[in-house]
Amino acid sequence: MARDKLDKKRIILKIGSNTLTKETNQISRGKIEDIGRQILALQDQYEFVIVSSGAIAVAKQFVHLETNGKEITVKQALASIGQPHLMRIFQESFRDLGLLTSQCLLSYSDFERTQSKKNIVNTINVLVANNYIPIINENDTVATDEIQFGDNDKLAALTASLLEADLLVIATNTNGICTAESVNNQTFETIVEVDDIEQLESEIVTSISTHGTGGMRSKIEAARIAQKSGIETWIINGLKDDFLVDAIQDKNIFTKIKNQVPSSLEEG
């Protein structure tokens, strides 16, 4: 099922664990409600697919597992426990706003097989056409890449590319990407707009977020994937209320990584 590009603009919204927990030790229903209210406010012009982390963070609220194996195995088990709780919170919070949700669990191998890619596209297009908001997470019980390396940043970029999104939004816990100098001197000056990924990468100060596994380097890698597909990436502070509505209305500071579509494709 091909997507009609004359329809609403499609946004892939990736929400990291630090955003969902509001930098605490538990999932914030208030933040999920904030995301739902924004989708409701924007739904006439935009359609949304959410890529959400947070399953492990949810599980840690309820259980403590004995570490009788490798740490990664314990995290896979926590993800298995936390995923249905995470979906329940999304479902309840969004339902109160009149929004419908669905769950999609994907792994990287799904993006390597032609038939799997077709199935993903067809299923998500049907869901979106019927006003369901797909909520995607990695199938952590069988795959470990995002647990180890990316907090779903790469998964979001691959999803954006496959679904021919108009925009990839990565909600994190900073005002976008700051210059290395400003991070070192604690003034935190955001790089507002850039199209040169290599230049942006040179500004990265290595860090890993508290709950997530990504940090800014994985977000730049995600932007690189999106850019190759002609998709713009926004890296926004998701801790703020109305972060996406304000970004669309140019009311807040964030990093915009422009696409580099060849001129012959700009009208396509």
Percent of the chain with pLDDT over 90: 60
The reply to whether 208 falls in a domain is yes
The reply to whether 22 falls in a domain is yes
Q: Residue 33 above 50 pLDDT? A: yes
The reply to whether 169 falls in a domain is yes
The reply to whether 40 falls in a domain is yes
Rounded (10°) angle between helices 216-228 and 153-162: 10
Nearest 5°: CA angle at 182, between 177 and 186? 110
Q: Which domain holds residue 109?
A: 9-265
What's the pLDDT score for residue 73?
A: 83
CATH of residue 85's domain is 3.40.1160.10
pTM of the model: 0.89
Q: Residue 240 above 90 pLDDT? A: yes
The reply to whether 134 falls in a domain is yes
* Region 166-175 average pLDDT: 95
160, 158, 170: which is closest to 217 by C-alpha?
Answer: 170
What's the pLDDT score for residue 263?
A: 37
Residues 12-27 pLDDT 10s: 999 998 999 998 888 9
Residues 201-214 pLDDT 10s: 888 765 544 444 44
* Region 128-147 average pLDDT: 82
The reply to whether 228 falls in a domain is yes
Domain total in the chain: 1
Nearest 5°: CA angle at 243, between 238 and 248? 135
The reply to whether 132 falls in a domain is yes
The reply to whether 206 falls in a domain is yes
